[in-house]
Chain A
Amino acid sequence: MRRLYSQHGPALVLYACPFVADRSTAEDVVHGVFLKLLRREQIVPEAPAAYLYRAVRNAALNVRRDRARDVALPDQDLWFTHREHGPEAASALQEALRELPDEQREAVVMRIWSGMTLEEVAEATDVSINTAGSRYRYAIAKLRERLKPHQK
């Protein structure tokens, strides 16, 4: 379980961030999913990454629905560390990801930061592999356009 958390935890929090108000809530959502597995309320499935993404998405949407009346303050937390590319590039990537449609963003997050194959992305999002692939390509094209000034 700890291995799963260290492998997918950071990307899952990144995935949950746009659904909820702030990063701290996103971490709570991810913790909730892992704690259910730790307490054996849910059996670890054969494809844990796909399950984790589906569970985090559902939990994050529940939180968003429950807190719909709350006034959300703008999230000041950076989603990425910026050792290599600097804080401006990290901030630009964050904004670009936030602006992507949910289904395109999740394809990128799963593929780039969780290392999932397109087959796994398709399974996690309940779509065909072709749909998963085209979502991913659209997302990459948009991100490339937005991040052009920051690419060396």
Chain B
Amino acid sequence: MNEENQKFENFLRGFEPRLPRPLPVDSRSRYDWGRLVAAAMILTAVSASLSLVFRSPRARFADQHPAMAHESSDTLINTPMMSSPTLTRAALADRGEFDIETNHIAPGTLPRFDRTDSSLRALAKE
């Protein structure tokens, strides 16, 4: 009886269930979220260091000397700036007029040494 059962079981195993279609690729499992988070963190760190390296000299100066930066920014805000092409054109057209113009701009653009509360003045003394 056992042998007959075995034979019949083997007969049944001769019928193979049809293969189902392959598992669909799950879009949610396609990404490794751990790697994505790590990549995002690296990107953030790189952007932060790049922004520090390529910061404008004025911003770096402001960080290192806040008092002086405040002083110079006050003067710069109140002074009309001339672009380089304008200055070049002025110099070529009339040197005398150019000197007068730059003398007029200089006190508002360049750091002041003559004021008693000037940080540059204090530094220069040291």
Which residues of chain A have a CB within 8 Å of any CB of chain B? 2, 5, 9-11, 13-14, 23, 27, 30-31, 34-35, 38-39, 77-85, 89-90, 93, 108, 112-113, 140, 143-144, 147, 151
Contact = CB atoms under 8 A, between A and B. Distances in A.
Contacts of B3: none
Interface stretch (B10-18, B53-61, B89-97, B101-109): B10-18
A14 B17 CA distance: 7
Contact of B15 (A23, A34, A35, A82): A82
Given A38-B26, A39-B28, A13 B20 contact: yes
A89 to B, nearest CB: 8
A2 B17 contact: no
Contacts, number: 69
User: Which residue, A77, A83, A144, has most C-beta atoms of chain B within 10 A?
Assistant: A144
B14 A144 contact: no
B18 A10 contact: yes
Interface of B: 5, 8-9, 11-21, 23-24, 26, 28-29
A34 B24 CA distance: 10
Given A2-B23, A5-B23, A81 B9 contact: no
A80 B12 CA distance: 11
Residues of A contacting B: mostly = helix
Given A39-B26, A140-B8, A140-B9, A30 B15 contact: no
B8 A31 contact: no
18 contacts: A10-B16, A10-B17, A13-B20, A27-B21, A31-B20, A34-B23, A35-B26, A38-B26, A39-B26, A78-B18, A80-B16, A81-B15, A81-B17, A82-B15, A90-B15, A108-B12, A140-B5, A143-B8
